[in-house]
Structure 1
Amino acid sequence: MKLRHHGHWNFGTRCTSNCERGVKREIFLFIFVSATTITCQPQGRRMKPAESLKAFQDFTASKGIDLNASTPREGIEAMLEFRAQAACVACSDDMLLYQWGTYDWGNGKYFELDITRQFIEAELEDDDAISQLSLTYKYQPSAELDALGTSNCWEDATPDFRRFILTSAPFISVADAKADQIDLRHSYV
């Protein structure tokens, strides 16, 4: 948490506040004589986007999660927690994208359930600034999975992103199923 103030402190009290993108953080709320600016950032580990793959692997290993054998429930929950606990340094934007659909990228057709953390680095420009840490679960297509369609949801597009994911039909359909393939990667766009 960064706290910038102008003026004098009158008194302080502890509270829980919803910060940027719905991340809950404990903060100290102070009443000032004049204006106050409060900015919340995830607490814990700080990393650069290029370090995010190793940081996420270390994070999941510390939780006892083997990503190569994980279910979407384990992996996506871990990515949501990682987002809340590992701040991106030097980023002007850092948000999650949840997406699903049946695709053929040239290696066969699969139903994919994916969560991607997208970073935009402040000191770079245009597409050079954008990178993504993606965790994708791939399943052999079926009529049931094809019926789920293709869509996505950005973290800032819904008030309760975690709940949206965990109650979505695509997530529920494969939440505890072992994937045929799991792809974890960091790449620049």
Structure 2
Amino acid sequence: MKHSQAIVVLNGVMTDRGLAVGELTAQQAASLMIELYAEYRVDGIAGLDEDGDMLLFEWGSFDAGSGPSFQFGLTRQFMTTGLSDDDAITQLQLILHYDALANNNLDRGHRWCRSPQDVAVFRQFVESSPAASLVGERRASRVDLHYEQV
């Protein structure tokens, strides 16, 4: 697939499973993004050894302009060949916002998965993370899914 098709593929997988983006749990969101990374390779990007296709797990309390929330997010980042700096970077982001959990004692953090061979360790990290424990099966206040150039 082309990196610009990632959001279409993810939406298709969710539709096939009867899932709606606004109703995803953190566990479902993580599972979907990890599966997309593990099973769908992308054409026209830098190689894995050049960080051309990576998956990022981020968590913490942030205020993105609409009030503070605890965010549980996964981002698939693509580096396009032939472009430089930020022009080369595009991202598929799936972020769950939990307004009621904005004031917690959990530090912000992140972890990268740089290769499909690292998916099992990455999945275990995400599933057993303090962030996953904090949000549990709670319904997110809102869920953002978008594809963008950085």
Alignment TM-score, normalising by the size of structure 2? 0.87
Q: 2:22 aligns with which of 65, 68, 71?
A: 68
Report the structure, 1 or 2, having the larger helix content. Answer: 2
Report the structure, 1 or 2, having the larger strand content. Answer: 1
1:155 aligns with 2:117: no
Distance 1:178 1:171 in 2: 13
Distance 1:141 1:126 in 2: 37
Residues 143-188 of structure 1 show CA distances to partners (whole Å, capped at 9, x for unaligned) of 7x62111110111497811100000010122131110000001110
1:132 aligns with 2:91: yes
Q: 2:75 aligns with which of 105, 109, 116?
A: 116
Q: 1:101 aligns with which of 39, 60, 75?
A: 60
CA contact (8 A) 2:53 2:114 kept: no
CA contact (8 A) 1:65 1:74 kept: no
Distance 1:94 1:68 in 2: 26
Q: Which residue of 2 aligns with 1:187?
A: 148
**Aligned-CA RMSD value:** 1.8
Instruction: Identify the structure with bigger relative contact order (alpha carbons < 8 Å, sequence gap 6+).
Output: 2
Distance 2:131 2:104 in 1: 10
1:173 aligns with 2:96: no
Residues 111-152 of structure 1 show CA distances to partners (whole Å, capped at 9, x for unaligned) of 100000000111322211101100000011447x62111110
Aligned residue type for 2:137: D
Which ranges in structure 2 are unaligned for 5 or more consecutive residues?
47-51
Identity of aligned residues (%): 30
What is the aligned length?
142
CA contact (8 A) 1:102 1:141 kept: no
Distance 2:106 2:130 in 1: 7
Distance 2:70 2:88 in 1: 29
Aligned residue type for 1:69: E
Q: Secondary structure at the match of 1:106?
A: coil
- Which structure has the greater CA radius of gyration? 1
Q: Pick which of 98-107 and 156-165 moved more.
A: 156-165
Which ranges in structure 1 are unaligned for 5 or more consecutive residues?
1-46
